Structure 1
Amino acid sequence: MQLKDKVAFITGAASGIGKEIAIVYAREGAKIVIADLNQEAAQATAAELKAAGGQAIGVGADVTDEAQVEAAVQAAVAAFGGIDILVSNAGIQIVHPVEEFSFADWKKMLAIHLDGAFLTTRACLKHMYAQGRGGSVIYMGSVHSKEASVLKAPYVTAKHGLIGLCKTVAKEGAKHNVRANVICPGFVRTPLVEKQIPEQAKTLGISEQDVIKNVMLKETVDGEFTTTDDVAAVALLFAAFPTNALTGQSLVVSHGWFMQ
């Protein structure tokens, strides 16, 4: 088992990509903390992992709330004795052209994606540093950490920002053997993406099928969505990698949508 007895704190993990990462980590022996805005769903996901033979707890946390984040991390430490892996995955999507974006929605997007990443990182790093056994910080970026798309100004801005945060954490964390990396998926057909399809169709004046074919998957090499399995495989690589040789990096998983 690649993650035996490691403690993984995963935000936005009650569904979608976060849940798939939790399943893979649990299968590899990690103790899982499912942190989600929906506490009931977090606990239900944790119960699924335990039923499958894993160790897990579910905690409710709004990642934009400093006190809630600190309390959730403390609950994780109390349950499992430390934090070895942070997966900062919580996110939402709101789509509008820039001239129609409300300031409130702009601030909400940046708060969840960037403030949430900062608050969870800060809370987890304190424990990673103190326990002296290193750690791995993993940010859920996007192809939009590298590219831009119409209608997504705050999302693109936030996802670009995660790369800067990652590089700083990689430099600061190195002396503590803490690595930091970013996963940059293409479109994954999660509820977040499903919600965007009709929204973009309406805004762009095209069919939902055209949104999928000519907007979301246009630049891929094969017209295929990235899967939660694809993303979880990269999350396992970053979590299990044994040295600082792999840190401060961003890996794109997008069927060739963006090539470096």
Structure 2
Amino acid sequence: MNLDNKIAIVTGAASGIGLAIAKRYAAAGGRVAIADLKLDAAQAAADGINADHPGAAMAVEMDVTSEDQVNAGVAKVVDAWGGVDILVSNAGIQIVNPVENFAFADWKKMLAIHLDGAFLTSKAVLPHMYAKGSGAILFMGSVHSKEASPLKSAYVTAKHGLEGLARTIAKEGGKKGVRSNLICPGFVRTPLVDKQIPEQAKELGISEDEVIKNVMLGQTVDGEFTTVDDIAEVALFFAAFPTNALTGQSLVASHGWFMN
């Protein structure tokens, strides 16, 4: 599958899963806006992609919880390249705590980045997609869009919410040529996951090795982490799929941790 010069915005794309998706899109012939809270990191990521695929990437500073920054970032991409064909709402963070100790400010921050960010970026790109009569919106869910785990109340709530948003956009956008899907990775070894290992070890009173072996990978079929490249391939599949046949669907990539 290829993207034939289609224009994508990927949030949280300066590192981790977002960067892997941006690189895969560029390799498949697309143009990618690296939207990230840190403009210098976004520019470095774009420069790296352009070294291999000249002109395929640009950097955009974007706090996905700010409607003004989201709108300005989308406008920058449209002004530069003429439209938006693909949105990957990937920006996210993780905070772990039991519910009774979960600070309300942290709860609001988690939902703002994951849910408000997905809503605001979708709202900003949809008029451009509707005008073209085509588009694909992808949300980065999680196995936690399907399952719950201790200590992750805000994350689980947000990731469940993204499935509802994806389905609603699929219903609204179908007749206008816009598809929407949810990607649900298992544990992917990124800085976000690395940060959780000592936090969960402390909260659960177990070793970091036990967190990895039993908590993160205990339900997989092979004890392996999902990779950023695995998720990038799923993101390419959904972005390049030619019809509405799969719209509104989620795809879990978790080494068998969760099976639909």
TM category, shorter: over 0.9
CA RMSD, 1 decimal: 0.7
Question: 3-state SS of the aligned residue for 2:58?
Answer: strand
| Residues 203-247 of structure 1 deviation map (CA, whole Å, 9 limit, x = unaligned) | 111100000001000100000000001100100000000000010
Q: 1:157 and 2:157 equivalent?
A: yes
Q: Who is 1:199 aligned against?
A: 199
Does residue 1:73 correspond to 2:74, yes or no?
yes
Instruction: Tell me how far apart the structure 2 counterparts of residues 145 and 14 of structure 1 sit (CA, whole Å).
Output: 24
Map 1:38-187 → 2, pairs under 5 A: 38-54=38-54, 55-132=56-133, 134-187=134-187
Amino acid at match of 1:219: Q
Partner SS, residue 57 of structure 2: strand
CA distance in 2, matches of 1:79, 1:48: 19
Cα deviation digits, residues 70-92 of structure 1 (max 9, x gap): 00000010111100000000000
In structure 2, stretches of 5+ residues that fail to align are none
For residue 89 of structure 1, what is the amino acid of its counterpart? N
SS in 2 for 1:206: coil
Please list the CA deviations of residues 167-208 of structure 1 after superposition, one character each: whole Å capped at 9, or x if unmatched: 000010001110000000000000000000001001111100
In the aligned structure 1, how far is the partner of 2:108 from the partner of 2:61? 22
Tell me the CA shift for residue 130 of structure 1. 1.3
* Percent identity (aligned): 69
Matched AA of 2:219: E
Q: Which runs of 4+ in 1 moved over 2 A?
A: none
- CA–CA separation in structure 2 for the residues paired with 1:98 and 1:216: 20
TM-score (norm 1): 0.99
Q: CA deviation at 1:131?
A: 2.3
SS of aligned partner of 1:86: strand
| Offset at residue 147 of structure 1 (A) | 0.0
SS at match of 1:62: coil
Number of equivalenced pairs: 259
Instruction: Give the distance between the partners of 1:29 and 1:226, measured in 2 at CA.
Output: 25
Q: Distance in 1 between matches of 2:109 and 2:140?
A: 17
Secondary structure of 2:130 counterpart: helix
Unpaired runs of at least 5, structure 1: none
